[in-house]
Amino acid sequence: MIAAVTAYNDDDAVLKLIEALAAQTRPIDVLLVVDNSRTPTLQGRLAREAARVAHFEIEYHHFPENLGTAGATTFALDRARCRRGDLLWTFDQDSVPAPDALHHLEHYLVAERSRGARPIGIASCLPLLEPDGVPDHGQRFENFRFAHVAGSGSAPYDCDVVITSGAVVDLAATRGVPSPRLDFFIDSVDHEFCMKVRRAGLRVVVVPAARMIHRIGAARPARSMLRRRPIRLREYSPLRLYYITRNATFLETRLARFPWQLVAVPWRLRVMLRFVAGALHEPSDRAGKVLACVVGTTHGLAGRLGRAPAGDAPQRG
> Residue 106 falls within a domain, yes or no?
yes
**Is 75 a domain residue?**
yes
In a shared domain, residues 100 and 198 = yes
Residues 206, 159 contacting (CB under 8 angstroms)? yes
User: Residue 210 falls within a domain, yes or no?
Assistant: yes
The predicted model scores a pTM of: 0.90
Tell me: do 210 and 291 sit in the same domain.
no
245 and 106 in a single domain? The answer is no
Statement to judge: residues 286 and 261 lie in one domain? yes
Contact 64, 7 (CB under 8 A): no
Residue 32 lies in a domain: yes
Domain boundary among 215, 230, 253: 215
Q: Tens place of pLDDT for every residue, the chain, 317 residues?
A: 999 999 999 999 999 999 999 999 999 999 999 999 999 889 888 877 776 776 889 999 999 999 999 999 999 999 999 999 999 999 999 999 999 999 999 999 999 999 999 999 999 999 998 877 889 999 999 999 999 998 778 899 999 999 999 999 999 999 999 999 999 999 999 999 999 999 999 999 999 999 999 987 655 555 555 555 555 556 788 999 999 999 999 999 999 999 999 999 999 999 999 999 988 888 888 899 999 999 999 999 999 999 987 544 444 33
pLDDT of residue 317: 33
Residues 181 and 267 in one domain: no
pLDDT of residue 310: 52
Indicate if 123 and 229 belong to the same structural domain.
no
Give the pLDDT confidence score for residue 158 in this predicted structure. Answer: 96
Report phi then psi at 288, rounded to 5: -65, -35
Residue 313 has a pLDDT of 43
Q: Is residue 225 part of a domain?
A: yes
Q: What is the predicted pLDDT for the residue at 48?
A: 79
Within this chain, do residues 70 and 54 fall inside the same structural domain, yes or no?
yes
Last residue of a domain, one of 215, 235, 255: 215
- Residue 281 burial (10 A CB sphere; 0-12, 13-18, 19+): middle
Q: What total of structural domains would you count in the chain?
A: 2
Domain span at 229: 219-302
Answer yes or no: do 207 and 224 share one domain: no
- Asked if residue 313 belongs to a domain, the reply is no
- From residue 172, alpha-carbon distances to 74, 118, 298, 303 in Å are 15, 14, 38, 31
Whether residues 169 and 245 fall in one domain:
no
Helix residue spans in the chain (DSSP H): 11-22, 41-52, 68-82, 101-114, 189-199, 238-255, 261-279, 286-302
So what's the pLDDT on residue 21?
A: 94
Angle, CA 180 vertex, CA 250 and CA 210 arms, to 5°? 105
What local confidence, expressed as pLDDT, does residue 266 receive? 97
**Is residue 61 one of the residues assigned to a domain?**
yes
Cβ-proximal residues to 259 (8 Å cutoff; 6+ apart), any chain: none
Task: Look at phi and psi of residue 263 and say left if phi exceeds 0, alpha if psi is from -120 to 50, else beta.
Answer: alpha
Q: Which of 215, 244, 271 delimits the end of a domain?
A: 215
Same domain, 133 and 38: yes
> Strand 30-35 and strand 57-62: pairing?
parallel
| Same domain, residue pair 198 and 273 | no
Asked if the structure places residue 315 within a domain, the reply is no
**Are 45 and 126 found together in one domain?**
yes
User: Which CATH number is 159's domain given?
Assistant: 3.90.550.10
pLDDT at residue number 133? 85
User: What's the pLDDT at 232?
Assistant: 52
Alpha carbons 180 and 175: distance in angstroms, whole number? 13
